[in-house]
């Protein structure tokens, strides 16, 4: 399952892509995995290697397999970097993942199909 959500920043600051709808989530209800423009991964705001990220995600999954995971991908990173994070998430057992976006909802931009 993949969903789009608007989340108040918990993870590393990245230039999020924009979407037309979103739902706000409380910071304490999820974990954040970010990828910056250069492809560097972060768990919340801590930069780490992909190997360390996988170990951290495994530890979190072992403790709370139902944890909500939000992926923050910089709009300028290559698609491969996001797929690499998704592969790590699936490898440790997280299958319900949401992507953080900057929502245009509320800025007067109509949602798809609303015109």
- Tens digits of per-residue pLDDT, 75-100? 999 999 999 999 999 999 999 999 88
The answer to whether 7 and 92 have CB atoms below 8 angstroms apart is no
pLDDT in tens, 27-42: 456 899 999 999 999 9
Band (pLDDT 50/70/90 cuts) for residue 102 is confident
- This prediction's pTM: 0.69
pLDDT score for 89? 97
pLDDT above 90 as % of the chain: 58
Break the chain into its structural domains and give their ranges.
1-30+38-67+87-95
Measure the CA–CA gap between 20 and 111, rounded to whole angstroms. Answer: 6
Cα separation, 61 vs 13, in Å, equals 24
Query: 57 to each of 7, 26, 42, 52, how far by Cα in Å?
Result: 20, 20, 11, 9
Sign of the four-CA dihedral 65, 70, 7, 115:
negative
């Amino acid at each position: 399952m993949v969903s789009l959500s608007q989340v108040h920043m918990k993870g590393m600051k990245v230039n999020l892509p924009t979407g037309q709808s979103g739902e706000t989530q409380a910071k304490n209800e999820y974990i954040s995995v970010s990828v910056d423009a250069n492809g560097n991964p972060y768990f919340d705001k801590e930069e780490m290697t992909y190997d360390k990220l996988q170990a951290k995600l495994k530890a979190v999954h072992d403790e709370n397999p139902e944890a909500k995971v939000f992926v923050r991908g910089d709009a300028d990173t290559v698609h491969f970097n996001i797929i690499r994070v998704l592969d790590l998430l699936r490898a440790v057992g997280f299958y319900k993942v949401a992507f953080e976006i900057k929502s245009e909802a509320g800025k007067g931009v109509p949602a798809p199909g609303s015109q």
